[in-house]
Amino acid sequence: MPETLWRASLVLALYRNRHVAQARYLQLATIRGDGRPANRTLVFRGFLGETDAITVVTDMRTAKVREVEATPWVEACWYFPMTREQFRLGGRARVVREDAGDEADRQARRDAWRALSDATRQSFTWPMPGAPRDPAVPFVAATPDPEAPPADFGLIVLEPVEVDHLELDGNPQNRWIFRRDADGRWTGREVNP
């Protein structure tokens, strides 16, 4: 079992499911301040450069930023409907905010902002997420500059240390578990589904 076969399998799943919009949606579980889990759908925005790390974008005003910064252990669950396979990606996450992180992180944040649609960029100018909706407050603002990510725009980078890959279409199903050790080396093995 090649050590990092999970990344090749994930790249392949992205390709095979490329015509299904929701194949780029994953569910990210975090820990709330009261110790309960939170779970929401996010859009995969690519790997961080050539690394194994997964990126998603976030409004800095949302609870997930506080949750990840207080408890960096997260698990993403990612289901691919065309190929009927699931990846569970557990690991540490970090939030890349304005004027923070190393140059690779800063560049990834700028690139992610540029790659968004105008409509998604506009959503970062909306009133406070989760606050009571006031019909008198307008939502539509001027189109933000694609070259200048605002302070409310953040990038979340997930560095997996354990990946559980399940193929439902086998009979029986096929499943592999990959783990990264403290030295960054991956090992994988096939397990019972």
Token pair 């005003």 is found at: 61
184 binds a copy of itself (CB under 8 A): no
Closest approach of Cβ 48 to a copy of itself, in Å? 21
* CA atoms of 103 and 116, how far apart (whole Å): 20
Identify the burial level of 99 via C-beta atoms within 10 angstroms of its C-beta, where 0-12 means exposed, 13-18 middle and 19 or more buried. Answer: exposed
- Binding-residue total with a copy of itself (CB under 8 A): 45
State the DSSP string of 30-60: EE-TTS-EEEEEEE---BSTTSS-EEEEEET
Token pair 């090992």 is found at: 187
Closest approach of Cβ 144 to a copy of itself, in Å? 15
DSSP-derived letter for residue 22 is G
Question: In the complex with a copy of itself, which residue's Cβ is closer, 115 or 191?
Answer: 191
Helix (H, G, I), strand (E, B) or coil at 118: helix
2 binds a copy of itself (CB under 8 A): no
Q: Which residues pair with 152 in a beta bridge?
A: none
Candidates 11-19, 49-57, 144-152, 170-178: pick the segment binding a copy of itself (CB under 8 A).
170-178
Token pair 């999970």 is found at: 6
Instruction: Give the residue among 167, 187, 122, 160 at the shortest CA–CA distance from 44.
Output: 160
Closest approach of Cβ 106 to a copy of itself, in Å? 28
193 binds a copy of itself (CB under 8 A): yes
Under rule CB under 8 A, which residues in 90-129 are in contact with a copy of itself?
90, 123, 126-129
The separation between CA 82 and the C-alpha centre of its own chain, rounded to angstroms, equals 20
Closest approach of Cβ 23 to a copy of itself, in Å? 10
43 binds a copy of itself (CB under 8 A): no
**Residue ranges that bind a copy of itself, judged by CB under 8 A:** 21-22, 25, 27-31, 35-41, 71, 73-77, 79, 81, 86, 88, 90, 123, 126-133, 139-140, 172, 175, 177, 189-193
